[in-house]
Structure 1
Amino acid sequence: MRVLVTGGAGFIGHNVAIYLAHRGFDVTVYDTLERSSEDAVKRLRDAGIPIYRRDVREWHDLRGYDVVVHCAAYVDVAESFARPKEYFENNVIGTASIAKAASDAGAFFIYISSASVYGNPVKIPISEDHFLKPISPYGASKAMGEQVVELYSSIYGLKYVILRLFNVYGPGQNPAYAGVISRFIESAINRTPPRIYGDGSQTRDFIYVEDVARAIELSIVKQPHNQIFNIGSGKHISILELARLIMRLANIEGEPVFDEPRPGDIKHSCANIEKARKILGFEPQTTLEEGIKKLLYTYKRLKT
């Protein structure tokens, strides 16, 4: 089965591409390579995956591909406040372009969305039928991308799955756009206390990137048409507890330092993953502590 991964040199994209290639899929990567790391590109090439410099905002002939996994996106919530126009252009227009090309080619379309579409939820854990009320340009751009995909299904017959990813972490994150776990681990490796924005009471649901890749593989194999799934661990932890966990595992003494809250940061987040369990057979395999230990080992090895 031929699979195209857009944004395939990004953090999630390159991990997904390599995972799928190892699972026997014929994988190709499209990426502008503007924000990719040299390590991600090297890992893709070492895996024998062809990489093409492509911009998803342009039309592409995708005939020959069975599945398109659309990971390409600008993903920094804080940056989206300073550069909203670029986020809407890349994340909405890019999705509109590549989804239409996938529809024209008869390819199954997997749209990688985000829990940011929910904004501040009224109920925890969050199920897929929770209303969407994003509080950042990034979250709004992902919600609009979902609307484009659903519209194309109704007017062009696009077959799709939307995966709303919660807080993804793992090896290969670009330091400039890294999530909170990578930032905390970077601090721990440098023997400095992690910096928390806000009071640390905010909670997040963290999912290891290989578990995300497994959810995408299940979506490819089962192809449940026109469905939306939350992909998370189904568990949540406060940012303060997370900081202390990483400090303990890295043998760092003291307490985290605190800074002003950042715009666009939601208060609480936790996925209800029962639908993904029931329909996809999805079950997270990596616990948070196991994943952090893997990352600590990876970061220490890169530093030596």
Structure 2
Amino acid sequence: MENGRIIVTGGAGFVGSHLCERLLREGHSVMALDDFTTGSPKNVAHLTRDARFKLEVHDVTQPFSFAASRIYNLACPASPPHYQRDPVRTTLISVLGTLNCLLLAQKHNARFFQASTSEVYGDPEVHPQPESYRGAVNPIGIRACYDEGKRCAESLTMDFNRTHGVEVRLARIFNTYGPRMAFDDGRVVSNFIIQALRGEDITIYGDGSQTRSFCYVDDLVDGILRLMEHPEERGPVNLGNPSEFTVLELAEEILSLTGSRSRIVYMPLPEDDPKQRKPVIDRAKAVLGFRPRVSLRDGLTRTIADFRARLEGVPRMSSAGLVASR
């Protein structure tokens, strides 16, 4: 990698904080940009003791100008409760935030990484999902602010590459979990862990037969770095763990690992919630040498330990209403 500072937008978020941590560990200078819409300064508090790390409070929908050799764009609410809270702003973060990052990359001749999502595949009619699949997205549904926002961000990314020569890297990230997930994240792993640890009912939306593939955050960060530093591969490249589990299997595993006596209850499936989600990662394996190494059981064990530690001394607040099986 060239010398120079690395910018991580959304750097105080769940994935962003782990990426910043890894980059610092490898000897780089890192600036995290975050407005704390969903990120938290607590996620990077341990990094602020490092002189090579800087946290800049900034809204990426507004232009910014910092010299950089690498720009990782991870800024965007990524769970349904978060991105549906203000859907117009979610769309603008995806579109204007990506545009501002690309303009900065063009100005400084920096390499740009766009964190796209498996949500661009919508409720897929092809299973599992390869990069060649164009998706089945409802452009006017309640998830469209995120799904279509990310699809537009992909378009901007590739057009800046074709028309302006910006070096780009594009990853479609599948379900990721691990320490530092927000308690109100609203995704299925965090929902189930919080409910199990508090002895609340485990809420499954639908009949529990819908499937997901869960990638531990350390494995994801490894894939992100491999793609960013590949000399030629632009993407899109799927990054995720292809091991597939039903939502019910996940709930039962979390109950087992926590020793919880919570009951499993069933509620109606939310609108446009995908029935199946599993990445084809043949391209990532062949081109990047990417191979997820952390099993679901090991990853959940680490994540549950983190949730337990953070729950100590935290006032009890109901996890009711967290409605997503993403």
- TM class by smaller structure: over 0.9
Does residue 195 of structure 2 align to residue 192 of structure 1? Answer: no
**Residue 75, structure 1, aligned to residue 75, structure 2:** no
Q: Distance in 1 between matches of 2:57 and 2:7?
A: 13
Say if 2:61 is the partner of 1:57.
yes
Contact residue 61 and residue 100 of structure 2 kept, 8 A: yes
- State yes or no: 1:99 paired with 2:107: no
Deviations, residues 162-187 of structure 1 (Å, cap 9, x unaligned) = 11111111111122324211111111
- 1:239 matched to 2:220? The reply is no
CA shift digits 1:177-233 (9 cap, x unpaired): 242111111111112231111111111111111111111221233243422110111
Cα contact 1:15–1:209 (8 A) shared by 2: yes
Report the counterpart of residue 211 of structure 1 in structure 2. 219
Aligned counterpart in structure 2 of residue 171 of structure 1, from 154, 179, 197: 179
Does residue 1:35 correspond to 2:43, yes or no?
A: no
Map of 1:159 onto structure 2: 167
Residue 307 of structure 2 is matched in structure 1 by: 299
Q: Aligned partners of 2:85 and 2:310: how far apart in 1? A: 32
Identity %: 27
Q: Relative to 1, partners in 2 of residues 1:274 and 1:147: Cα closer, same or farther, differing over 3 Å?
A: same
The answer for unaligned runs of 5 or more in structure 2 is 313-326
Higher relative helix content:
1
The aligned residue for residue 109 of structure 1 is 112
* Amino acid aligned to 2:101: I
RMSD: 1.7
Matched, 1:4 2:12: no
Letter in 2 for 1:28: M
Match of 1:122 among 120, 125, 142: 125
Match of 1:109, SS?
strand
Match of 2:315 in 1: none
- Mapping 1:254-269, distance limit 5 Å: 255-269=263-277
Q: Which amino acid aligns with 1:147?
A: S
Q: Distance in 2 between matches of 1:250 and 1:140?
A: 37
Checking the alignment, whether the CA contact within 8 Å between 1:197 and 1:260 is kept in structure 2 is yes
Structure 1 position 288 matched with structure 2 position 296: yes
CA–CA distance in 2 between the matches of 1:81 and 1:56?
A: 18
How much has 1:50 moved relative to structure 2? 0.8
CA deviation map 1:245-292 (0-9, x unaligned): 110111124641111211231110000111001111111121111000
Q: 1:159 Cα deviation (Å)?
A: 1.1
Normalization by structure 2: what TM-score?
0.88
For residue 303 of structure 1, report the CA deviation from its aligned partner: 3.0
Change (3 A) 1:165 1:183: same
Taking a change above 3 Å as real, the CA distance of residues 109 and 299 of structure 1, as seen in their structure-2 partners, is same
Q: How does the TM-score come out when normalised to structure 1?
A: 0.94
1:155 to partner: Cα distance: 1.3
Q: Distance in 1 between matches of 2:253 and 2:79?
A: 24
Q: Distance in 2 between matches of 1:79 and 1:249?
A: 27
Q: Which segments of 5 or more consecutive residues in structure 1 lack a partner in the other structure?
A: none
Q: Are the structure 2 counterparts of residues 302 and 84 from structure 1 closer, same or farther at C-alpha, using a change threshold of 3 Å? A: closer
CA distance in 1, matches of 2:261, 2:157: 48
